[in-house]
Amino acid sequence: MYCIQVVVALPLWQRFDYRVSAAEYARLQPGMRVRVSFGRRLLVGMVVAKTPTSASPEPSLKPIEAILDTQPLLSPALLELARFAADYYKHPPGEVYLQALPVLLRQGAAAHSEPELRWHESALGRLHEPASLPKAPRQRAAWQALRDEPAGLSLQMAQVLGIELRDLRALAKRGYAETRSHQPLPPAMHGLADAALPANAEQALARDSVLADQGFQVSLLQGITGSGKTEVYLQIIERILERGQQALVLVPEISLTPQTLQRFRQRFLCPVLGLHSGLSDRERLHAWQQAAEGRAGIIIGTRSALFTPLPRLGLIIVDEEHDPSFKQGEGFRYHARDLAVVRARLENIPIVLGSATPSLESLHNVELGRYRLLHLRLRSNQLQLPRLHLLEMRGLNLYEGLAPSALQSLQEHLERGHQVLVFLNRRGYAPILLCHDCGWRMPCPRCSTSPVWHRRLGRVVCHHCGISQALPERCGACGSRDLRPLGIGTEKLQEALSLRFPDFPLWRIDRDSVRSPRELELRLQAIHRHQPGILLGTQMLAKGHHFAAVTLVLIVDIDAALFATDFRALERCAQLIIQVAGRAGRGNHAGEVILQTHHREHPLLQLLVEQGYESFAAALLSERAAMGLPPYSHQALLLAQGPQAQQAEDHLTALATHVPAHLAPYGVIAAPIERKAGLFRAHLLLQSASRPALQQALQTLVHACQEDKPARLRCWIDVDPQDLS
Ligand code: ADP
Ligand code: ZN
Ligand code: ZN
């Protein structure tokens, strides 16, 4: 008897055996979908293995209901990637395999694109004349249109011409028209629409090194902002396409940087697909088909694009590889950069990780000789990187968080006709509401954090759970009416800057003021008209944009990161500073960057400002090494959350007994955000210099953490956690 192993998209660890006939067995391959009955439901499952016999006694095995595909949807490399990922990230395998597919395919839709039907004049029609239908003017017009378009009319084309389907049908009934399936010509896969720029020596070296790779090799392309990394990607891809291969480009966020997609589309003749969250399910399926059928040359997408099937994949690029958004924060908590490296290894192809501010993990891999470092040290416009100044704030008389000399600089740059960029990574008007009489801070009713006052909304909004409340009139503790906003968000800074510089336009860019990609585009267009003005925003403004007229960047507040409990805070802060600073001086004028701080003496901050990211990162790495923190060790976080205060901690304490003590050096603790959306949260952080030892401990915990727990308590594992809040 024949049997196959199937996974389904449920939080279950098993692979399930189903019975198949000899003919089905011969047709089925791993990576194909089948419909199976599961309990009382019919589910879409994926075949992961074939076994000629099963250990289970025959009668108990259910047969499959249907085979949904004629070919595997996932290649052997992608199947292996999914298997590895489920195992490594300790996530139920069925969910991992099936999340690799577009939603419609998970629901059972047909995988292969239907050929388009087009209307043609029939042989009989050609023997007659449209004029022979004097009483049917609309059919006559339709007939004439078919005659004028020998390649046939799609319904869409017909619609444009004002021709209706029922007239085409009537013609078909008379025998004068017919439909035929239309096979589009394969698109041109190589050739340039726009010439490449002449590469400088560093760019040429980086490009040629990657192109010389035979098979798997990871390159870390470290290039200062504006050094032409994207140009290097484009030139490598040009050759990859010439070889008849496809390229996959992963980016942190595509809707925020429409320019990236534009640049690729301008350069190449081949179809360039953008995969992002803005697509409808239909569009996503269509894009997936284009990729899987080999009709797209380049795929650019955010982290989930990693699983796109590409039959001729020749190169993977991960741009801004340090960006935390490559790590999925919930559900299947994978890191798309790390899995991209695994995929490149499985496909035996080169991969390029690019950044101006590489993650310490990647720099460490260079140190270990696993990754090759490629450097771009020159800015392509020959200008120097902007100079960073630390501005000590202690004792100064501040205007809404801005130092007098910073205001002076803003004034000067604006008067010279330039643009200035003011960066503050905090949305809203004020992050804290404080009672001036008793010190009460308004709390979020559901979280252990303070909600943020959004003045225009007239609400106080929690940025952790999203709940919003009316602005209270009185202190919740003493009843005083003297509630005062404390701290500054972008909304307040907008007000302050507009008052101070009323003659200059101000464009604010953050999630509250820009709600759609379209709105962002309009705002960016206004900025690109180059009149003097102020750009104010959060990290939405920091990513990848090219602002040619910006000559001054003012970073309002970085002190929170200097003393944060999260050991990655300083790395993140430095990356953000360099990214934001990189927006200055990209045009014809050198740039200047001012960093406001109360801790000018901070040694790592000084290193960053005086010697740059490389020296800073090296110092931070030796600090991490001394403390045994990642990347010199590996971590996994067990997080429990439940409605009762002690439950989460108790559950983790019980789990901790399954783990050798040296793997859990910090013990069970309340999470830094102890209560979120009404749930109490606790952490058990595991850490080991040995990945295998850590993985082994996790193997035990995967099952233990779901056992003996109160019904409403949730517990999960986050491997290589990036967010320790
Ligand atoms: P990065 O991705 O490193 O920030 P980009 O590739 O966006 O850098 O390049 C920054 C700017 O320099 C762009 O306007 C780009 O067109 C230009 N540029 C890049 N390489 C060259 C080159 N070799 N010659 C001239 N201009 C270049
Ligand atoms: Zn009070
Ligand atoms: Zn909240």
2-106 belongs to which homologous superfamily? PriA, 3(prime) DNA-binding domain (3.40.1440.60)
pLDDT score, position 674: 95
First-to-last alpha carbon distance for the chain, in angstroms, is 52
User: In this predicted structure, what is the pLDDT of residue 256?
Assistant: 65
Among the listed residues 117, 103, 35, 107, the one whose alpha carbon sits nearest the alpha carbon of residue 285: 103
Distance 452 CA to ligand 3 centre (A): 10
Instruction: Say what the pLDDT of residue 387 is.
Output: 87
Residue 572 CB coordination number (10 Å): 19
- Ligand minimally distant from the alpha carbon of residue 437: 2
Ligand 1 contact via 203 beta carbon (within 6 Å) = yes
Second-level CATH architecture of 201-376: 3-Layer(aba) Sandwich (3.40)
- Mutate which of 203, 208, 225, 231 for ligand 1? The one with the most ligand atoms within 8 Å of its CB, which is 231
Q: Is the pLDDT of residue 185 over 70?
A: no
Question: What are the structure tokens assigned to 503, written together?
Answer: 């003659």
DSSP, res 186: P
Proportion of the chain in helix, strand, coil states, percent, rounded to 5: 35, 25, 40
Q: Among the atoms of ligand 1, which is closest to the Cα of residue 230? A: 6
Which residue puts its alpha carbon closest to atom 15 of ligand 1? Answer: 228
54, pLDDT greater than 80: no
Q: Which helix (H) or strand (E) element contains residue 175? A: none
Assess whether the C-beta atom of 200 lies below 6 angstroms from ligand 1: yes
CATH architecture of 634-719: 2-Layer Sandwich (3.30)
Nearest-CA residue for atom 19 of ligand 1 = 228
Higher pLDDT, 198 or 590: 198
Helices (H) and strands (E) in the chain, counts: 23, 29
Q: Is the pTM above the cut of 0.85?
A: yes
**Ligand number, closest to the Cα atom of 460:** 3
Domain segments of the chain as ranges: 2-106, 116-182, 201-376, 387-428+489-626, 634-719
Condensed to tens digits (0 to 9), the pLDDT of residues 108-149 reads 999 887 777 899 999 999 999 998 888 899 999 999 999 998
Cα(431) to ligand 3 centroid in Å equals 13
Mutating to test ligand 1, I would choose from 380, 543, 550, 586 the residue with most ligand atoms within 8 A of its C-beta, which is 380
User: What's the CA gap between 409 and 404, in Å, rounded?
Assistant: 9
Q: What is the per-residue pLDDT across 526-584, written as a single tens digit (0 to 9) for each? A: 999 889 999 999 988 887 788 889 999 999 998 988 888 899 999 999 999 999 998 88
**Which residues have beta carbons under 5 A from ligand 2 (an ion)?**
435, 437-438, 440, 475, 477-478, 480
Among 203, 230, 263, 355, residue to substitute to test ligand 1 (most atoms within 8 Å of Cβ): 230
pLDDT(323) > 80: yes
Residue 57: band (very low, low, confident or very high) from pLDDT cuts 50, 70, 90? low
Q: Is 308 in the pocket of ligand 1 (CB under 6 A)?
A: no
Please report, rounded to a whole number, the percentage of residues in the chain having pLDDT higher than 90: 79
Instruction: Give how far Cα 662 sits from Cα of 339, 565, 656, 665, 690, Å.
Output: 28, 22, 11, 6, 12
**Proportion of the chain above pLDDT 70, given as a percent:** 98
Residue type at position 146:
L
Q: What's the CATH number for 387-428+489-626?
A: 3.40.50.300
Task: State in Å: Cα 522 to ligand 1 middle.
Answer: 24
Ligand nearest the Cα atom of residue 547: 1
300, HSE (Cβ side, Cα atoms, 13 Å): 24
Q: Which ligand is nearest to the CA of 385?
A: 1
Closest residue by CA, ligand 1 atom 9: 228
Q: Tell me which ligand sits closest to the C-alpha of residue 482.
A: 2
| Nearest protein Cα to ligand 1, atom 8 | 228
The pLDDT, as a whole number, for residue 382 is 67
Which atom number of ligand 1 is nearest to the Cα of residue 231?
6
Where is 260: in which H helix or E strand?
Answer: helix 258-267
For ligand 3, a single-atom ion, the residues with CB < 5 A are 444, 446-447, 462, 464-465
Give tens-digit pLDDT for 249-275. 999 987 666 778 889 999 999 999 999
Distance, CA 107 to ligand 1 centroid (Å)?
A: 43
Q: What pairs with residue 435 in β-bridges? A: 483
Per CATH, 201-376 and 634-719 having the same topology is answered no
Q: What is the largest CA-CA distance in the chain?
A: 96
Q: Tokens 């990230």 — which residue?
A: 89
